[in-house]
A and B are shown apart, each in its own frame.
Chain A
Amino acid sequence: MKKALALLLALVMVLSLVACGDSATGTTEPKGDAPVVENPDGGEENPAVEEGKVFNIYAWNEEFKGFFEKYYTVPEGVTVNWIITPNDGGAYRNKLDEALLNQENVPADEKIDMFLLEVDHNIVQYANSEFTQDIQALGVTDFSNTYPYTVQAASDASGVVKGVSFQCCPAALIYRRSIAKDVLGTDDPAEVQALLDSWEKFNAVAADAKAKGYYMTASDAATYRVFSDNVTAPWVDEAGNLQFDAQIDAWKAQAKEFSDKGYTINTGIWDEPCTAQMFADGKTMCYFGPAWYFNFSMGNAQDPEKGCYGDWAITMGPQAHFWGGTWLMASASSDNPTMLADIMDTFINDEEVCTNLVANEAQFSNNQAVNAKFAADPEYGNDFLGGQNDVAVFVELAKNIKFENKTIYDQIINEQLQSNWREYCQGNVTEEEAMANFYKAINENYPEVVTP
């Protein structure tokens, strides 16, 4: 009996050790995604000078990965490891935050070297944290050609720059030329702009479009970013109270009006009913977005068979705004500082790369000199936009960008307001219920935010 007890106790100890070991490795987040990398050098010689063999990049989609693989030459012997998690519902940020908070416990090759952020992720929070590092110290010092807001956005409170953006994101009204001709009688950007330069005109034209069997927008949230970028106060004030800007109220009213009158479709901007409208047989006149929207998110319009390549054009629309943009942040735990700095420098200062981004990828680069060159070039035209010089339009629009009123809550609040308000627009719930559900969602995600 004693022996059995001893054995049992021993078993308990072994098992609990195994269990502890499990939970310890279980928390090393990126492990599951990281491919096993052979390290022939073993990293024994000169560990102080030798840089890491694995470069880990956290991202939420394949956009930057595509440019990176095309235009950046990875130093020999280094493997680039992409850890991609979808953005929706805050999934990417949850994964990133988990990983950042756990950097101390993972081996060098699993540490994050660079992570991507967008405006809604609240870049300032990360720039102000200990998880990012000064890129000027790493050798990225020339910001003379970048748009100032992109540097300001990635700087901490004392002005130390922690990352760069490879794009500048003034957003425009993207309209379908053939539908504009039918509804407005013209597809010329300047004339279309004159007919749609205020919300009153925009709403009136929506009625005309409806009368001819078209949708003005393909989602009740299509115009959301135009309004939300023009707010005069952040979503949450200093005391932690949720507040509604007049611009947000204006969007809510418009979304309801458009839904009731059938000017739009009750669906999210990333959902299939909205993107399906981009095909040639779609009936929607207007989309809103920056360069990355039409070159990355309008794949259906570019479809060789069902798309309508060339049947689009851009103009400022009712209100100037900017939307999104991807920032490359320097992780404090990087073991590849030289490569990290080199990547950042390449995507803002390498003229050839920036030129390729504009010419081949229809990007609006974060290099003012390159953009100016294209804007002034009479030969340049974007085929997708029917030969329109989009860079020239964006150069003008970029002057309006003001980077302000951002909070760490923006992503979830924007997503939740759109989806809960949609239920009201569809008539499934009353206004009070829709707002109550919106507040509930905020309280679940952010207990510290005080809702009305």
Chain B
Amino acid sequence: MSRQNSRLSRRKSISYAKWGYLFIAPFFIIYAIFTLYPQLLTIYNSFFENYRSGLRQVGPTYVGFENYVKLFTPDKTGSIDILKYTWNTIVLWVGGAIPQITIALLLAIFFTSYRLNIRGQQFFKTVIYMPNLIMASAFSMLFFTLFSTVGPVNDLLLNAGVIPEPYDFFAEKISVRGLIMLMNFLLWFGNTTILLMAGIMGIDQTLFDAAQIDGASSVQVFFRVTLPLLMPILIYTIITAMIGGLQMFDVPQILTNGGGTPNRTSMTLIMYLNNYLKTSKNYGMAGAISVIIFIITGILSLFVYRSLTRKED
């Protein structure tokens, strides 16, 4: 018996380890080439002065932390740009993410509820996922046209007598940010709904039945059964949404024509990065900004993870 066991275990360890490593190898190789190496290269680049002026190349010259110092030097009006853009990015993300996750959670519960048993579910699921299939840039162009001072939204409001003269949606901080939040919400809530539905359907149905037999109201079921068991998926959703949110670029870039208007209040971190890359190919400054974004993402992810998992305990 013992001889058989030892032989079995030996064979197991040999064969599985071999195939195991082989199967996970592609991921690590691709990760190393396409993620780790560029990441290290970015950090390396951030210590150099390296840009192009027209057809003339300047650098690369080693400058130490000069790029970082430049990033954190306040301008004449006393504000530090990178902090301002970090704040913009967070505001834009939170403003879109709160309705996105709330609505997605509600829809996911409706769609998975046996008691409601909504008809035409397939249709609705497809429809709410639709916006996600449109390219963000096309979606932004659409909104840009819709909300222009000579666009249909202004026409409607004028004809309905709501406003006396065309309202410039792109001149005010609130309306520009509002539009960006709305678009990000529309683009992503369908995707989140599907993810959360998968999470809810993964919960053992007998738990809901037991709760109902015990006389729990649907609100109680939601807070005592669904939410705690959904936590792992919810955390995953929030963290991935946050990383996506910190890298917000296409929607505000196209909506404001790259300017982050008004007064750069809708300029996100990646738009700032893009400003350094598009004409001057300034790998030094862009590298420094990337490193900062990386650190911010890390800190925020940790923070979100910690605060949500503590609640669970």
Contacts and interface: CB of A to CB of B under 8 A. Distances in A.
A199 to B, nearest CB: 27
Contacts of B259: 419
Given A15-B33, A94-B279, A446-B53, A273 B261 contact: no
B21 A432 contact: no
A428 B262 CA distance: 7
Interface string A409-434: 00010000001000100101100110
Contacts of A100: 55
Interface stretch (B23-31, B103-111, B213-221): B23-31
Contacts of B257: 88-89, 419
A448 B279 contact: no
Contact of A276 (B14, B25, B34, B150): B150
A423 B172 CA distance: 10
A125 B55 contact: yes
Nearest to A8: B25
B150 A11 contact: no
A4 B264 CA distance: 54
Interface in A434-452: 436-437, 440-441, 444-448
B178 interface: no
Interface string A99-143: 011000000000000000000001001100101000000000000
Contacts of A440: 75, 81, 264
Contacts of B278: 89-91, 94, 445
B2 interface: no
B90 to A, nearest CB: 21
A448 B285 CA distance: 13
A271 to B, nearest CB: 8
Contacts of A4: 18, 21-22
Contacts, number: 110
B54 A436 contact: no
B58 interface: yes
Contacts of B301: none
A445 B55 contact: no
Given A1-B18, A423-B262, A436-B77, A444 B276 contact: yes
A200 to B, nearest CB: 30
Nearest to A430: B77
B262 A429 contact: yes
B185 interface: no
Contact of A125 (B54, B148, B261, B285): B54
Contacts of B275: 441, 444-445
B118 interface: no
A16 B257 CA distance: 38
Contacts of A437: 263-264
8 contacts: A89-B258, A267-B149, A272-B148, A408-B54, A428-B172, A444-B276, A445-B275, A445-B279
Interface of A: 1, 3-4, 7-8, 11-12, 15-16, 19, 88-91, 93-94, 97, 100-101, 122, 125-126, 129, 131, 266-267, 271-273, 276, 408, 412, 419, 423, 426, 428-429, 432-433, 436-437, 440-441, 444-448
